[in-house]
């Protein structure tokens, strides 16, 4: 039941304004040369609910982007007071009350998996929502097009001016537009660096030449890409560079809602004179409003296309026109291929948003989100690792007792200093020693400063008889003479969050000495 895109017919069509993509295709036809020039697109201003939604989302997303680095968040001591900060030099990611360390990169992995699944689910349900409403390429292109309109006017004025010869009026409008574009692009690149350094500090440093080189490089890079991608490349980024349109084919099926020209209502199309009968013809009057408003330069009436970003502006344009000629709205709207085909065959349209594919995506998304939430809730601010010395594995002391060395790596991811009490769980009679502290039987203490990992050296000495006695009981029978024997032991580290026990071993036989 696939709606076949019949491009041969469109190619033969001569009357009416053809879409930019259509023109480009024609130029790329046999004998058109190796390289294809871009056909300029002059999207017309449009009003309607989808356009309003796009305005709203543009304001919200841009506000998030520009305001986030300026949110202050009080943290104790010398820690940065920025709510969201990616501190590469300090290897920390600060997110409000949390701080993530590079060891916890799995949280970012989980976030990316969640983002991918959410994208899959949205695509299977509603088509390319991301492309049409939330993608930075779409948002900034939309903004740049609006700036263009402010300087050069809407579609018709722009086309006239572009066709006209150069004049003072054309020159100032063009240069004004490019200046504002560059300003926005610079603002985009400039805001980016605030995420990686303390925003007020780096703002001052930036203008006094004190900022790190990376700040200038990334500001310049993002200024350049914003200016070029949103100003001149626009839809070509989506069509040629972005892999997402290709992935779409696997994610959208005949039950996915997407911006659709309802052929069952529209065909056969043709111009309509006021007062003429609507009998025996479709609702499309070939006014081409859907074509002239399209920022991607396509004709939605050719069916689902690679270029379509599902933004719904053609639906707004069509509704506006239908209102004017007093016909029902919705000739173009969010619909499924299956519903269109069913109605064309005279049956009732059935919408199946709940289907195995969407259920699977939703279940996977809930599962991964649940895992992430569980991980965040059970995330501990402290981490203990015990590294046993490997060289020497053990040392025999003058009185015959045996000493093993351990390094306890205690990470403090909280914002406050913590006192750790380290106890040894093993045979009785063990003595603990850490540098700069007296030998103790009941354990050693260490202060773990906020936001650091401290390596605490701990030496455990077992009296000769305790080591021998324990190893006789601890082993499973095969006690060969001279074999190095190990006892299962553990360290219990008591921290403000509670006690953590980490297993290790104690080697009772250091081997022969000369």
Judged by the rule CB under 8 A, the positions of this chain that interact with another protein are 4-8, 11, 25, 28-30, 32-38, 233, 236, 240, 389-392, 395-400, 403, 405, 433, 435-436, 446-447, 449, 454-455, 457, 459, 461, 513-514
**Encoded tokens for 173:** 């409008």
339/402 with CB nearer another protein: 402
User: Residue 238 contacts by C-beta under 8 Å, 6 or more apart in sequence?
Assistant: 131, 137, 244, 245, 296, 307, 309
CA distances from 513 to 14, 392, 395, 396, 467 (A): 98, 12, 10, 9, 18
Alpha-carbon dihedral sign for residues 300, 302, 308, 310: positive
* Residue 253 to residue 266: CA distance in whole angstroms: 22
CB of 83 to another protein, least distance (A): 29
210/445 with CB nearer another protein: 445
List the Cα angle 134/138/140 in 5-degree steps.
105
* Residue 442 to residue 440: CA distance in whole angstroms: 6
39/381 with CB nearer another protein: 39
CB of 271 to another protein, least distance (A): 26
Reply yes or no: is the peptide bond before residue 460 cis, omega within 30 of 0. no
2/208 with CB nearer another protein: 2
CB of 16 to another protein, least distance (A): 19
* Residue 485 to residue 429: CA distance in whole angstroms: 18
* Residue 82 to residue 93: CA distance in whole angstroms: 11
CB of 103 to another protein, least distance (A): 19
* Residue 503 to residue 106: CA distance in whole angstroms: 24
10/113 with CB nearer another protein: 10
Question: Which SS3 state, helix, strand or coil, does residue 267 take?
Answer: coil
- Is residue 271 a contact partner of residue 286, using CB atoms and an 8 Å limit? yes
CB of 513 to another protein, least distance (A): 7
* Residue 439 to residue 484: CA distance in whole angstroms: 26
291/394 with CB nearer another protein: 394
204/397 with CB nearer another protein: 397
CB of 107 to another protein, least distance (A): 28
Q: Largest alpha-carbon pair distance within the chain?
A: 115
CB of 417 to another protein, least distance (A): 11
């Amino acid at each position: 039941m696939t709606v076949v895109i019949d491009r041969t017919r469109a190619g033969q069509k001569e009357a009416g304004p053809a879409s930019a993509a259509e023109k480009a295709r024609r130029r790329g036809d046999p004998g058109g040369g190796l390289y294809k020039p871009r056909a300029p697109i002059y999207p017309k201003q449009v009003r309607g609910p989808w356009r309003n939604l796009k305005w709203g989302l543009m304001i919200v997303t841009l506000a998030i982007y520009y305001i986030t680095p300026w949110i202050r968040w009080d943290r104790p001591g010398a820690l940065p007071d920025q709510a969201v900060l990616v501190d590469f030099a300090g290897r920390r990611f600060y997110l409000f009350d949390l701080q993530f360390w590079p060891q916890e990169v799995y949280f970012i992995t989980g976030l990316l998996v969640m983002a991918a699944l959410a994208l899959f689910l949205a695509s299977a349900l509603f088509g390319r929502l991301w492309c049409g409403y939330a993608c930075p390429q779409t948002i900034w292109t939309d903004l740049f097009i609006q700036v263009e309109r402010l300087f050069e006017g809407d579609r018709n004025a722009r086309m006239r001016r572009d066709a006209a010869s150069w004049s003072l009026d054309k020159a100032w409008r063009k240069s004004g537009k490019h200046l504002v574009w560059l300003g926005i692009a610079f603002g985009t690149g400039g805001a980016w660096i605030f995420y990686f350094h303390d925003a007020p500090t780096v703002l001052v440093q930036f203008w006094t030449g004190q900022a790190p080189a990376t700040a200038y490089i990334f500001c310049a890079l993002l200024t350049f890409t914003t200016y070029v991608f949103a100003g001149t490349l626009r839809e070509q980024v989506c069509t040629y560079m972005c892999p997402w349109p290709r992935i779409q084919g696997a994610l959208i099926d005949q039950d996915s809602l997407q911006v659709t020209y309802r052929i069952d209502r529209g065909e056969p199309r043709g111009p309509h004179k006021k007062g003429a009968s609507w009998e025996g013809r479709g609702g499309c009057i070939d006014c081409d409003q859907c074509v002239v408003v399209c920022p991607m330069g396509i004709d939605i009436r050719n069916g689902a296309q690679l270029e379509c970003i599902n933004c719904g502006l053609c639906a707004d344009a069509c509704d506006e026109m239908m209102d004017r000629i007093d016909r029902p709205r919705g000739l173009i709207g969010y619909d499924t291929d299956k519903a269109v085909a069913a109605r064309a065959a005279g049956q009732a349209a059935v919408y199946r948003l709940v289907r195995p594919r969407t259920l699977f995506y939703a279940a996977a998304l809930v599962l991964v989100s649940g895992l992430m939430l569980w991980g965040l809730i059970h995330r501990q601010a402290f981490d203990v690792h015990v590294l046993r010395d490997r060289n020497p594995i053990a040392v025999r002391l003058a009185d015959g007792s045996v000493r093993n060395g351990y390094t306890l790596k205690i990470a403090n991811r909280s914002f406050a200093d913590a006192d750790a009490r380290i106890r040894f769980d093993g045979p009785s009679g063990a003595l603990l020693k850490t540098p700069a502290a007296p030998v103790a039987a009941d354990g050693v203490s260490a202060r773990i400063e906020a936001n650091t990992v401290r390596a605490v050296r701990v030496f455990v000495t077992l009296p000769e008889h305790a080591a021998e006695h324990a190893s006789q009981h601890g082993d499973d029978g095969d006690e060969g003479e001279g074999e190095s024997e190990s006892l299962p032991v553990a360290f219990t580290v008591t921290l403000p969050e509670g006690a953590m026990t980490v297993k290790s071993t104690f080697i009772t036989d250091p081997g022969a000495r000369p």
